[in-house]
Structure 1
Amino acid sequence: MKYTHVYTLFLAFVFCASCGGQNKTDRPKEKTKSETKGVSTSGWINTKYKYTDAAGASLIIQNSFPRGGTKYTDPDGEVYNYVVFFTRIINETDNPLELKIEFPVDSYEVPSLPGKYFKILIPPDTMTLDKESVFNYGLADLDPFLNKGIHRSSSLKRTINSKESSSFYVVILCLIEGAHGTMRTGLSLKGQDLFYRIKIDGSKSNTKSIDKEIHCGSINLKNLMLQQ
């Protein structure tokens, strides 16, 4: 895991009550063309994981720092803050990568607020390298998507062909009041299973720190080993 320069963003979190029994919105599986021939060396990349198969070919996962802190009001009048992250996956293996991700509506309960949850959503937009320096990484006009998806699970199915790469956004919402902390997130791989880690460091705001991994999906490729 590789860290670049430190970027700090403080958030205020109190989360809404569980919205059980909601339906999810599925999107058709996407086939994507290569967005870039290289690996980003941007200062916006927080962590990088490199996995190698028996032939020495690699699968690389890059996770960004947060951007945003934008306010959003849902159709019921609840006011949230949201932050935007992106994950880039570079497939340097000889086989297509089938990516499946799903975040249940109640995937992450706030430890200090039983029955209240983070809202983790995947917009349909594709992130590209030229958007790294833009506000919210170029993700705009989110209100219609959030209005429809805030109380539903969120999923992504995507094919990344051999020697190509693709990126996707993750938006995390919270009610505007609550605990303070510095948030970091990241996708990683264990076997064929995908995990999304959310860390909130409360040390600088005298609040409780939390660290949780969410099992959120899978890939089709096998026998990939993390390179230290």
Structure 2
Amino acid sequence: MYDLSFKENNISEILRATIFLFTLFISTLIYAQTIGTRWFSQRTTNGITIQNSYPKGGRYNGNVENKFNCSYLVFFTRVINGTDSTLELNINFSSDSIAIPNSPGTFMQLLLPSEIMTLEKQSLFSYGITELASLDKPTSLKRSIKPQEDCLFYVVAFFYQTENGEWSQERGGNRAELVLEGQNLLYRMHPQVPSLSCGHLVFE
């Protein structure tokens, strides 16, 4: 008599192996895109990986009222969801200016431009960004990240002086990172921002 249970067990094993190989394939594709990328920081917590870039930028030549000697730095962050559940990413930056230590009259604003960042833009000037964001207005980001997928986004640090005088060289802020603690997201940029609560990352 033909043993149906043996056949069913074999099919079940094949299905499990197929699902495992497919998941491994997708994960490999995601991580392979970062080969050659040099990250400032990379941390993995409970299956969630956050990668933070080095900066690009320079002087800002646009017209900005009551802001002088302006410059900017562009960073990008990549969040990889290595779990089996969808993640909800929420980040908010206020329009508040942050005073630069040891540089009187020099301030910084953190911005979240709406442009989409991709790994293919890494070699471009300022990572390919064309619009910084609306200055003096709060900016925010909300994204859903499916299992085994990732999300990339820009963060811009905009520097300025309140008086039209000599250019201040003490601006700092050339290293920054998004950090996950529990479900809370913190943004750090020494010496200006030791730790700024800016959002959360939760499972849907």
TM-score when scaled to structure 1? 0.66
What does residue 100 of structure 1 align with?
Answer: 90
Give 1:112 shift: 3.6
Identity of aligned residues (%): 35
CA distance 1:114–1:220, change in 2 (3 Å) = farther
Give the counterpart of 2:151 among 166, 170, 175: 166
What does residue 40 of structure 2 align with?
Answer: 46
CA RMSD of superposed structures (Å): 2.5
TM-score when scaled to structure 2? 0.73
Equivalent residue runs for 1:60-209 within 5 Å: 60-76=49-65, 78-79=67-68, 80-106=70-96, 108-112=98-102, 117-140=107-130, 142=131, 146=133, 149-175=134-160, 177-178=167-168, 179-181=170-172, 183-200=174-191
Give 1:211 shift: 5.4
Report Cα offsets for 1:150-184 as digits up to 9, x if no partner: 11111111111111101000111111632144610
For 1:38, what is the secondary structure of its paired residue? helix
What does residue 20 of structure 2 align with?
Answer: none
Q: Which has the higher helix share?
A: 2
What is the alpha-carbon distance in structure 2 between the residues aligned to residue 110 and residue 163 of structure 1?
39
What is the alpha-carbon distance in structure 2 between the residues aligned to residue 44 and residue 195 of structure 1?
22
CA distance 1:78–1:211, change in 2 (3 Å) = closer
Report Cα offsets for 1:19-60 as digits up to 9, x if no partner: xxxxxxxxxxxxxxx9x62251334411001012xxxxx110
For 2:99, what is the secondary structure of its paired residue? coil
Where does structure 1 lack aligned partners over 5 or more consecutive residues? 1-33, 53-57, 201-209, 223-228
What is the alpha-carbon distance in structure 1 between the residues aligned to residue 175 and residue 197 of structure 2?
17
What does residue 3 of structure 1 align with?
Answer: none
Letter in structure 1 aligned against 2:179: S
Q: Which has the higher strand share?
A: 1
CA distance 1:41–1:182, change in 2 (3 Å) = farther
Conservation of the 8 A alpha-carbon contact between 1:123 and 1:170: yes
Where does structure 2 lack aligned partners over 5 or more consecutive residues? 1-26, 162-166
CA distance 1:192–1:155, change in 2 (3 Å) = same
For CA contacts below 8 A with separation 6 or more, give which structure has more relative contact order.
1
What does residue 220 of structure 1 align with?
Answer: 202
Give 1:122 shift: 0.6
What is the alpha-carbon distance in structure 2 between the residues aligned to residue 44 and residue 187 of structure 1?
16
